[in-house]
Amino acid sequence: MVGTAAISLEKVRATAGEALTGAYESARVSLEKLGLGGQRAAVYLVLDRSGSMRRYYRDGTVQHLAEQTLALSAHLDDDGVVPVVFFSTDVDGVAELSLDAYRGRIAALHDSLGHMGRTNYHLAMRAVIDHHAASGGGDPAFVIFQTDGGPSSRRAAEQLLCEASRLPIFWQFVGFGDPDDQHFAFLRKLDDLPVPAKRVVDNAGFFPAGDDPRAFSDRALYDQLMAEFPDWLTAARAAGIVR
C-alpha cells in the first residue's frame, strides 16, 4: 500500500522546522516497506514516570522518543497532535505534543508533574481507551507505550489488555534499559498472550530499546515500532474490530 501521508513533508517543515524532517522521511520508508503507506491511525504516546526513569528524562532520551513519535504521527494522523499520557503509581498527567509545540516540552511537562512513583500500566491504558472513545474518530489507535520495567499490578494490566483486544487499539510496548533484565519478562508475556484463549486478536507488541535508546536510528526504531501493526490490522479487520 502506497498512499499520501496525512501531513506533507512541506507542512511538517513549515510547522515544525527542519528538526523532524529526517525522522519523518525515515518513517515514510518504514511505513511503505511494511505496506502501510497511506494508513491512518490516531497515535498516542504513554510515558513511564516511575522513579527509575529519572535519568532518561534528564538526558533527553524521552524527549527524543517523543519527537520520533510526532514525526511518525504526521504520516498517520492529520491533526499534527499526539496525546501524551504520563504514568507512575497513577496517571500523573495527560497533555499534547504538537508540530508547533514540541521543543523541550517533555521536560517541562515532566517537571510540572511532581513526585515520581511506582509503575501501574492499567491506569494509563484505561486513560488511552477513554480518550480514544471520547474522540469519536473512526481511525484505529496506535499506542507507543514506553516503560523501563514490569508493573506493580500485573494481573490488572494483563486483564485490561485482553479486554482491550476487542477495541480498535494496538499497543506497542517499548522497554528502556537492559534488554536481558527480568523486569521485561512480563512485557514478553503480554506480547505472547495466546489467541483466542486469552484475547480476540494479538493486540500488542514489545521490543527492548536498550540502555541507550537514542542509539537506535530513526529507521531502526520505526521498523521495530511498526513490525506487528500490519498483522494486527489484518486480524482486526477480519474480526470486525477495525473498519
Q: Can you give the pTM of this predicted structure?
A: 0.97
How do residues 162-192 score in pLDDT, each as one tens digit? 999 999 999 999 999 988 878 799 999 999 9
| The residue to which cell 532520551 is assigned | 61
What are the sequence ranges of the domains in the chain? 9-28+37-216
Q: Superfamily for 9-28+37-216? A: von Willebrand factor, type A domain (3.40.50.410)
What's the gap between Cα 176 and its chain centre? 13
How do residues 190-231 score in pLDDT, each as one tens digit? 999 999 999 999 999 999 999 999 999 999 999 999 999 999
Nearest to 110 by CA among 77, 151, 149, 66: 66
Nearest to 66 by CA among 38, 99, 34, 39: 99
